[in-house]
Amino acid sequence: MGHSRQRRIEEIIVHEAALFAALFVGALVQTALLPRPFDVPINLMLLLAVCHGLIAGTTSAARWAFYGGLALDLCAMTFIGMHALALLTGVIVSTALVSRLSRENWLVPMLGVAIGTILYHAVYALFLTLIVAPVDLQGYALAALVPDTLIAIIPALPLYLVFRWNEDRVRRRVPVDVY
């Protein structure tokens, strides 16, 4: 009990392929099925990666962001790497900054998702300007950045609480009351 064994390479490959497949399904759901309030899609990949990163750490969140970004690039038919690099930037910086705060504070996931969304859109707008065409920053901020940030903050807390509950369940943590 409590002994850690080395995972074989086959187990690691299967685990990573299953993670990519699950995030690819999430990207399909994000691009094809989720509603678009105010004609702005809900950034499900960013929500998943940031909330997971606040629970599991920045390294694991970076894997989720990279796989989710590649899946978004494939589903949205954009240049490979645009969403991946934008998600990586937003998720790594936001989880590194916000993970220093207490996990019990309910503002943590909302702050993390807000920071991640702003950084994601900043990097994505930079790539659009460099690769596709110049972007009107004021129009992009009003049409994409602000609505996406406000829409992403709403499900951040419930999703974070589900991830935290699952992590506590898997680790079998029992809350202790001190009298």
Kindly report, residue by residue over 85-107, the tens digit of the pLDDT. Answer: 999 999 999 999 998 888 788 89
Phi and psi at residue 167, to the nearest 5°: -65, -40
Distance CA 10, CA 46 (A): 28
> For the segment 112-171, what is each residue's pLDDT rounded down to a tens digit?
999 999 999 999 999 999 998 898 989 989 888 999 999 999 999 999 999 998 888 888
For residue 115, give the nearest of 160, 84, 161, 149 by alpha carbon. 149
Total tally of structural domains belonging to the chain = 1
Whether 139 is in a domain gets the answer yes
Specify if 174 maps to a domain: no
Owning domain of residue 105? 10-169
SS3 67: helix
Residue 90 domain-assigned? yes
Q: Using CA atoms, how far apart are residues 80 and 115, in angstroms rounded to an integer?
A: 24
Structural domain includes residue 2: no
Q: What tokens does 98 get?
A: 């916000």
Query: Is residue 15 included in any domain, yes or no?
Result: yes
For the stretch 28-63, pLDDT in tens is 999 888 887 777 788 999 999 999 999 999 999 999
| Sequence-distant (≥ 6) Cβ neighbours of residue 93 within 8 angstroms | 115, 116, 119
User: In this structure, is residue 67 part of a structural domain?
Assistant: yes
Higher pLDDT, 2 or 130: 130
